Amino acid sequence: MALFNFKKEPEVTPVNKNVEAFLQGYSIEVMPRTAEKIEDFRAILPAGTRVYIAHIEGTPIEDMVATAKRINAEGYDVMPHFPARIIKNEAMLKDWIARYQGEANVKQALLLAGGVDKPHGDFHASMQLLDTGAFDAAGFTHLHVAGHPEGNRDIDPDGGRKVVDEALSWKQEFSKRTDASMALATQFCFESAPVIEWADSLVAQGIDIPVHIGIAGPAKLQTMIKFAIACGVGPSLKVLQKRAKDVTKLLLPFEPTQVITELADHKAANPNFNIAQVHFFPLGGIKTNATWAMNNGGTAGVPAANS
């Protein structure tokens, strides 16, 4: 009598349709040194993915432009950071713009103050960069600025939101006079409730610039906590601190499944919710983040036309 050995097929977790829809058009952030570790972005990122290039103080502009040129050549929309506090003057700003455009076909930029205490020159805020008119004169199609769901103590040292909110109102008015599409790209958060409350408060203030919510990609818990503290993440840091108390979870990677699922479900139930896309900070590695996104349905990387 023949015996048959039937092997059980591994179970495949079905993709959450709300999460799948929420992840479409996601963007991801790299630095020159992390980009060097990726042999070919086409092997890990969907076509059309927007790739931000973070400009950390001390990074030569030549390295930034070379990274932008390489990623652009592989078929991706590149959005380099323009940190106001490390740009000495308008001449330097225009030189950077000319280099990015001439060598890497860059037409998009993220403008932010930059994590530097003392400005290197004339600029200390992204609004000053916008006010030069240099980006509009160069025909940039997308200008993104920073959003702060949990406040920013560099801007409002007392923990309030007065200066941040005034800056948002200025940026809202600027969005009406620029031909570029604008969006608010935020710092990463770990809890959905403060994000939803903040996003709704923008609408109440008359801010209709779409939000690209920052999400930290999968990483070891210790790594996540280190970056969160260094980047000034606010109240939602308690999500990590609570997990850290459970010794059994210390060595397991922290994944953004819960916060993304909650935001995706909220978006599905409230289609006018002004979070337009997800922006990943790949704290545990670009490949790890890209694989997680793909496994959760993030396969269509083409951003929406107005974001």
Every domain of the chain and the residues it spans = 17-295
Give the model's pLDDT for residue 4.
47
Q: Please say whether the beta carbons of 215 and 188 come within 8 A.
A: yes
What CA–CA distance (Å, rounded) separates 87 from 192?
34
Residue 165: is it exposed, middle or buried by C-beta count within 10 angstroms (0-12/13-18/19+)?
middle
What CA–CA distance (Å, rounded) separates 211 from 246?
33
Kindly list the distances between the CA atom of residue 183 and the CA atoms of 145, 149, 210, 211, in Å, as whole numbers in the listed order: 6, 14, 5, 6
Quick one: which of 243, 266, 242, 257 has its CA closest to 193? 266
Reported as half-sphere exposure (CB side, CA atoms, 13 A), residue 159 has a value of 3
The pairing of strands 253-254 and 219-220 is antiparallel
**pTM of this prediction?**
0.86
Cα 208–chain centre separation: 18
Would you list the DSSP string of 116-178? Answer: -SS-SSS--SHHHHHHT-HHHHTT-SEEEEEE-TT--TTT-TTS--HHHHHHHHHHHHHHTT-
* Residue 227 main-chain phi, psi, to 5 deg: -70, -40
Enumerate residues 6+ apart whose C-beta is below 8 A from 38. Answer: 30, 44, 286, 287
Beta bridge partners of 216: 281
Three-state DSSP state, 179? coil
Quick one: which of 46, 15, 42 has its CA closest to 301? 46
Q: Tell me which architecture the domain covering 17-295 has in CATH.
A: Alpha-Beta Barrel (3.20)
Quick one: which of 128, 34, 46 has its CA closest to 297? 46
Quick one: which of 41, 85, 289, 270 has its CA closest to 188? 289
> Mean pLDDT of successive 10-residue segments in the chain (307 residues)?
49 79 96 97 95 96 98 97 97 98 98 90 96 98 92 51 84 96 92 93 95 92 65 57 53 83 97 96 94 86 52
DSSP 248: G
Give the model's pLDDT for residue 239.
60
